[in-house]
Amino acid sequence: MPPRGAPGSASTAGRGRGARGGPSGHPSGSRGGPPQQGQGRGRGGPAIPPSRPPPPGGLPDTSPHITTVGVKRSAFGTSGRTISVFTNHYQVPIPEGNIYHYDGPSLLTLSSMLTCPNVNSYCVVVISPSEKVLPARLNMVIIRRLQEVVAPQVFTPRAAYDGRKNMFAARELPFGPSGTEEFTFTLSDASPGEQGQGGTEGRRGPKPYKVKLKLVATINPEVLRRFLQGKQSHDNDVLTAITALNVAIRMEPSLRYPFNVRSFFTEQEKLDIGGGIVLWRGYFQSVRPAIGKMLINVDISTGAMYKPGGVIDVALDFIGRPRQDPNLLAPRRGFPDRERIKLQRFLSGVRVEVNIPGQPQTVRRPARAVKKLTPAGAGQLSFTNRNGQTLTVAQYFEQTHNYRLRYPDVVCIEVGSGAILPIECCTIPAGQIMRKQVPADKTKSVVEFATKKPNERLASIRAGLGVLAYGQSEYVRQFGLNVASDAGPHSLQARILDPPTLQYGPGSRQPTIRPRDGAWNMIDKKFWKPEGIKRWMVVVFEREQRFRRDIAQEMVNGFLKAFAAVGMRVEETDPLIFYQTTTTRIGAQLREMGKQVLNKHRGGGGPDLIVAVLPETSADMYQAIKHFGDCVQGVATQCLKASKCSHAKPQYFANVCLKINVKLGGINTIPDARSVPALTDPHNPTIVMGADVIHPAPGADGRPSFTALVGNVDSDTAKYVADCRVQTSRQEMIDDLSVMAKGILEMYQKYRRGMEKKPNANPKRIIFYRDGVSEGQFRHVLDFELPQLKEACRALGIEAKITFIVVGKRHHVRFFPQRPEDAERSGNCPAGTVIDRDITHPTEFDFYLQSHSGLLGTSRPAHYNVLYDENNFTPDSLQALSFALCHVYARSTRSVSIPAPVYYADTVCSRAKNHYDPDSPGMDLSETATQLESPEASRQLEAFRANFRPLSEKSRRVMYFS
């Protein structure tokens, strides 16, 4: 997965996450089981069973007919002290009248129109012609014209549309007994046979669109009311009703602003970050069911936009040469093909308008999407016109448009129709969302723009209600929804859990410590199990003039003092120091240096540890070093930035020791058994696993997805091992989970028998944390991954009770302390803040836990959904052990935002590229998008599978990923 700070930022790479409010598209396949039997088409909605008194304390009905995907909530947590917090939610009423659903697979030709039987009835929205899938932006324009110009008498009041295939109306549209109607119209006032928008299309006349609507569902909102009371299963009627409310609240801003599913963006606050990218402040909104109420979740968001203006200016900005000579973009004047491809990846898909300089635009030409950039300039590209005359593009523009190009050598744009456009005649309209990975060198700027302190964020959210203007939206009013622009955020009670006690090793002046505000330090403490170093070496990948030998020796001395302070015994106090400036064949160079270490010790062995000092820009070196250490040689490697380790303070070396010790096989700290009995009960040995999947960036064809599984091997849940695999691109379910889990369970058994001398090596409990799964995929996880976990247990004769929990971070729920005395120094809620009431799921076992202390901005809690629980954990015990696992993350002396095993799985996924030999051709895993034809993408995917090198046997046994 991407770095954890990225969620919610402008980056759209990789992982689709759903929100509880339901997807914007078809509701089937999302949370809630199959439809109830006997639900056919009906205008009045399903029959509603007679109401019963609500269950006590907000708990769901225990009747077996109330079904859930995950574990049904049976109790609430009670441990910890109570504080009052605000959350970025606003309560909304439930509609009183029926909701009429017009749904179906839009953008298909009428002959291939499908219907879906998963709800009572549906209305199909079909827009044709449909040679290709039309963008949601164009669909919104088509439906808006239909409702406001073509047939306003039919659409009074207007229906809400999601840009794809769902339309919802607060009254049944007058389509007669069939419930079906077709409309044919153009997007201009001219008829199809008249002169239209100019150009070739204009000579043919405006393109006609045919829209077919068919009523297919009528939803009685009473089902939603019963669901919120815990007396109704989360079936498709409930999901459709929630989807309708989400479409209604998003309709008005979607017509006025650039939008991206649940967020829209305005120019009220923006920042040019260079590289042809401008950041816009946006607002996220989602209707969510909660215990006994409906809520709108409102948050601020950030959108990365293409910089508006001339394409030449944007292109120069992208290549880092803003406002310089446009001929820098001319291939015949030295513009490298490699840079052209990068620029092409950046611009592909953006819409451009043609404006010939110095000429008035008499007819508005439609914007066209960039397909690619030409390898030559307009003066070198030629074609044959209808008269058989061969012209260059530059000559054509001079003859046809009476315009002589100023930069005929500069690359041109090719659009989808094959037309070639000189980029000096092209401009980028404002408000186009960049749906690609934000370049790595811009991530810091995005984070800084997106970061707001808690009080600032809450103030922006309050101000956002005025921008959202729910009271002014006719679509919101039709469904009876309303949030006053001066409404206050929802208030609720949170609990602050006690942190676990942590144990350090013998010789520590303070052998146990209780973290305070989510942090502690290593002063006067020894590692629980310090690992020794017999031989090691230092390799400096900088010129000796920049990182002098005396500085390198000072660094070695700093490490020796730090090793001694934490209890790590080092036999070699004068390691060899090498200088290496060649950046190719790094693995071979490290092997030769290792031989010199071997010779120094007269055949006693190679280095146990390689410390590498790297320059600022060193991603390729880092990958080569990690590939050699993790996959080829099985030796621990520690990379340092030269600027950080030069004249570093003791605290720096102490922090690096946290990583080195576990890479060598040691254990830094363990949770005290008495503070977390659910984890360390000797009668119930427990293995905790974390799993994650990372996907390629949007538009990166032929790149694989990577999976990771991490699990502890010791009885104290502090020492972890990992496995990483490659699988089909963008597949979320883990194919090889059974094999991966079996391998980790075997290592757990071996460690307990060999190292801990336990007579019974089998675990009795498995706690499985799964990251990266949207709520619409919960059922798939239970059907596909849980059986694989059970299969691995059966293969090893293990009879363990399993608890399966999904941990989510890609949501927009935030908490804000109401009283300053309840806040941390950062203004955030304290570490250990837990909420399992009021805003959680009406029927299922879930909770929010903010386990870390805030440093910058507003802390994001993790959302835990318990999908399966044979161990019958109480809310208090599961919340406590999850909080405790956030304190055993080996790389820091702070609690982290999610349990350590799933955090490690995230790290292992992000390091998957290190399994490829950097010297092998074609194994490019850079974050930039690539456009490949389907056969080529398939071949490249198979090449990635074949060249993926597994870990060395030695690396598999240690926390190489720390």
pLDDT over 50 (residue 652): yes
Which is more confident, 112 or 779? 779
In DSSP terms, which residues pair with 427 in a beta bridge? 310, 353
pLDDT over 90 (residue 901): yes
Q: Name the DSSP letter for residue 897.
A: S
pLDDT tier at 30 (50, 70, 90 boundaries)? very low
pLDDT over 50 (residue 116): no
pLDDT single digits (tens) 571-598? 999 999 999 988 889 999 999 999 999 9
Residue 138 to residues 48, 163, 187, 637, Cα–Cα distance (Å) = 39, 8, 10, 52
Strand pairing report for 536-540 and 576-579 = parallel
The alpha carbon of 643 is separated from its chain's Cα centroid by a whole number of angstroms, namely 31
Whose structure tokens read 């404006």? 355
pLDDT single digits (tens) 97-107? 999 999 643 43
The reported pLDDT for the residue numbered 500 is 97
Which is more confident, 2 or 847? 847
Which is more confident, 57 or 650? 650
User: Using CA atoms, how far apart are residues 465 and 488, in angstroms rounded to an integer?
Assistant: 10
User: Using CA atoms, how far apart are residues 848 and 862, in angstroms rounded to an integer?
Assistant: 6
pLDDT single digits (tens) 741-756? 999 999 999 999 999 9
pTM of the model: 0.89
Range scoring the smallest mean pLDDT among 25-39, 366-380, 926-940: 25-39
Element (H, E) at 391: strand 390-392
pLDDT over 50 (residue 198): no
End-to-end CA distance of the chain: 16
Whose structure tokens read 């523009």? 397
Range among 71-85, 376-390, 671-685 rated most confident: 71-85
Contact by Cβ (8 Å): 786, 868: yes
pLDDT over 70 (residue 46): no
Contact by Cβ (8 Å): 443, 13: no
In terms of Cα–Cα distance, which of 429, 378, 386, 385 is closest to 403?
378
Spatial strand order of the sheet with 512-513 comes to 512-513, 502-503, 670-671
Query: What would the mean pLDDT of 803-830 be, rounded to a whole number?
Result: 96
Query: What would the mean pLDDT of 104-127 be, rounded to a whole number?
Result: 39
Residue 780 to residues 21, 33, 811, Cα–Cα distance (Å) = 19, 11, 20
Q: pLDDT > 70: what percent of the chain?
A: 88
The residue count of the chain comes to: 962
Query: What would the mean pLDDT of 795-801 be, rounded to a whole number?
Result: 97
pLDDT over 90 (residue 118): no
Token readout for 849 is 């836990």
Angle at which helices 778-795 and 737-754 cross, to 10°: 50
In terms of Cα–Cα distance, which of 379, 290, 375 is closest to 338?
375
pLDDT single digits (tens) 131-186? 567 888 889 999 999 999 999 999 999 999 999 889 999 999 999 998 899 999 99
Query: What would the mean pLDDT of 861-882 be, rounded to a whole number?
Result: 97
pLDDT over 90 (residue 926): no
Range scoring the smallest mean pLDDT among 199-213, 534-548, 711-725: 199-213
pLDDT over 70 (residue 28): no
The reported pLDDT for the residue numbered 703 is 87
Range scoring the smallest mean pLDDT among 71-80, 213-222, 525-534: 213-222
Q: pLDDT > 90: what percent of the chain?
A: 73
Contacts of 267 (CB under 8 A, 6+ apart): 280, 430, 431
